[in-house]
Structure 1
């Protein structure tokens, strides 16, 4: 259950294979995580994605070789899994603001990405652990009908896209198209259908008395499974709370995240978006 040591093991796995093809599923397996959960934890703790880290490390090690060896730019590009010298040059210049050919000839200091140590993050996270302690509760299954959106962890797109999903759901009156609404004042947001590449579905909807097949396009039925959940009351922004859950609380808790969706419940009548939101975020635990 030591999340930080497990992720650090994956860091070493990456470090040993910077000049090899790297698959996110294999990297996550080295840390005994699913690919999606590994990426979510990594990003919440460090502030950057696994793919960003690998790219920065490869470019940093390539920069070292450009200075310390006589190898050509093309040779180094291929060694670090770039398909062409042009692709490598674009990535290098985007990262460092100078082309590899020019850097090889000139004395220019670069900010290189060193091997990250997640055990350092652990010490920092412990100081923030008491910020938002959850309530641990057991829930019965909840029937939801919602509109399905697609988003991704990559580049933290979901932080921008999830609020937009809520806005579209409300402004387009999609909630009025849900049959048999059981609690119209409560809006549900459900993260589910996780994929290895970081993509997932986000459903915005409401609890219903019964499921029906008579739904308009884009709407789906979803059963939130019964079980144990950690419930976090949002104090501030929902994005900051999500980062706290996966970047601080869960890695330092005595719980593992079990299979199932994350979901959040907003009391619409008590909320004024985006300044004052009455929301609770639930994650499945064991």
Structure 2
């Protein structure tokens, strides 16, 4: 079963349980992905998150009940997992621009969230494999030392925060405190410690030949595992870096014959030959199952 069919299985599960509690771990399990990876794939393909989709579907079904039945608003709210009529009203008004009561009495043109069909995405993406294809390579184990920052997939928060992490690392000259460098002038950015709620750690640092006996306060060490990786080269503005990340998870990985292996993914920036934000020379590495 390919990625799109697996995600569709999760969507089918959501549709069958819209009136019940829907933990992200249970949704992701239907697609046989970790909760974090499922959320990353879904967001990259759709442009919005899983929980947002569930919320839109519930509100859309609630709107249909408001129009087609005489159910009172509190019962509809509870049916779609809102703990009170007030909470439901706030969510409904924020999404549709009017209260449930006003909606019921009028006939406004609104856009309902219908059930998603990921098989349509599969057909669409077959025609969009236009970015640079990766090179499949084997990498040796690498030791990294740097600083770690917590960020999140939600609302693509990490796209806004990661450049700041890099800038802070440079402005504070943290790189000067890293001993025994294995690849001077090459900066590593590593996504790791993935959590079910969509949060993860991003480590900015450099490769070292060995770890120091005493790690400076505020620094972390980690080892990138040896194995098979897909290498995506980027040579352009910072927007191209972000678009490549979206392409990897939204188009290439779901459409390829490869399966992502659990563990960190990372990027390596050629610091000397890069100029932020107009010209970035970087390689992005995604771990693959053998």
Task: Give the match's secondary structure for 2:228.
Answer: strand
CA contact (8 A) 1:235 1:241 kept: no
Whole-Å separation in 2 of the counterparts to 1:267 and 1:135: 18
Structure 2 unmatched ranges of 5 or more: none
Query: Could you tell me how far apart the structure 1 residues matched to 2:187 and 2:266 are?
Result: 10
Across the two proteins, how many residue pairs are aligned to each other? 286
Aligned: 1:5 with 2:5:
yes
Listed as ranges, the matches of 1:105-184 within 5 Å are: 105-184=105-184
Task: Indicate if the aligned counterparts of 2:235 and 2:279 stay in contact, CA closer than 8 A.
Answer: no
Are residues 58 and 284 of structure 1, via their aligned partners in 2, closer, same or farther at CA, if it must alter by over 3 Å?
same
Find out whether 1:247 has 2:241 as its counterpart: no
Counterpart position of 2:259? 256
Root-mean-square deviation (Å): 1.0
Structure 1 segment 183-202 matched on structure 2, within 5 A: 183-202=183-202
Q: Cα distance, 1:260 vs. partner?
A: 1.5
1:243-284 Cα offsets, whole Å, 9 max, x none, are 000111111111100122100000000100011000000000
Gaps of 5+ in 1: none
1:57 aligns to 2:57 (yes or no): yes
Query: What TM-score does the superposition give when structure 1 sets the normalisation length?
Result: 0.98
Distance 1:155 1:216 in 2: 33
Q: Which residue of 1 aligns with 2:217?
A: 217
Is this contact kept in 2: 1:66–1:100, CA < 8 A? Answer: yes
User: How big is the shift at 1:70?
Assistant: 0.6
Q: Are the counterparts in 2 of residues 190 and 204 from structure 1 also a CA contact under 8 Å?
A: yes
Q: 2: distance between equivalents of 1:171 and 1:87? A: 44
Distance 2:220 2:259 in 1: 28
Q: Which runs of 4+ in 1 moved over 6 A?
A: none
Q: Measure the CA separation in 1 of the matches of 2:147 and 2:213.
A: 14
3-state SS of 2:246 partner = helix
Q: TM-score, with normalisation over the residues of structure 2?
A: 0.96
| Structure 1 position 109, deviation (Å) | 1.6
